[in-house]
Amino acid sequence: MSLFGPKEPCPHCGRKVSKPKDPAEFLCPHCGQPGPWATEDDIARWRARTEARARYQELLEGITLAALPAGGDDSSLVAVREAAAYSSEELRSINMAAFRPVAQAAVADDIMTPEESAHLKGAMAALGITWADVGQVDPGLLDRAAVSEINGGQIPEVSSPHILPKKARSCITNVRRLS
């Protein structure tokens, strides 16, 4: 027995692994696969999660503007995403990486049709992301999408429009009278 507790060789990479203090940390720190201290249940959960993650990646690779319903209701994507058990950080990164080429294709010609806009919103709903998320990760893409929507005739609604104060309006009126 070593100074840091018992060690066993990993069944996958062969390197000696110390017994973890927390039984939930059963993965080998060297190869990322179930180590010698993993139970059969741990291995089964790890396999299911790994398979779900591979399936989720396959589904993401198939995302295009034409492949998504306009409503974004892709229950298979949601079910697989839940089984994959990604952390919120991992999921956001993966989903943004999948969304970016779809959005870039929609804004490539600088004109976004209402159909493209609906499909983009569907992709966002299916991936669980918002325009605010896009703006944090890729502000240039957010700007291009906004300009493309306007170029396509879709004027955004402004929740709190800036209205000229009364004093400024009277100045504009006076300037018009002088002209």
Percent of the chain surpassing pLDDT 90: 39
Per-residue pLDDT averaged across 1-5, rounded? 59
Q: Which DSSP helix (H) or strand (E) runs through 18?
A: strand 16-18
Question: What are the helix and strand counts (H, E) for the chain?
Answer: 7, 2
- According to DSSP, residue 2 is labeled B
Q: Please tell me the distance from the alpha carbon of residue 68 to that of residue 73, in angstroms, as a whole number.
A: 8
Among 26, 23, 4, 97, residue whose Cα is nearest residue 57: 97
This prediction's pTM: 0.68
Lowest mean pLDDT among 21-30, 40-49, 143-152: 21-30
Residue 163 has a CB neighbour count (10 Å cut-off) of 8
Return the higher-pLDDT residue of 44 and 68: 44
Local structure of 5: helix, strand or coil: strand
Q: What is the CA radius of gyration of the chain?
A: 26
Instruction: Report pLDDT digits (tens) over 47-73.
Output: 999 999 999 998 888 776 555 544 445
The mean pLDDT value for 152-157 works out to 83
H runs (alpha helix) in 62-156: 75-84, 88-107, 114-127, 131-137, 139-151
Q: Residue ranges of the domains in the chain?
A: 8-38, 43-151
At residue 18's C-alpha, the angle toward residues 14 and 23, to 5°, is 110
> Over the stretch 117-140, which tens digit does the pLDDT of each residue have?
988 888 888 888 999 999 999 999
Q: How far apart are CA 135 and CA 146, in angstroms?
A: 11
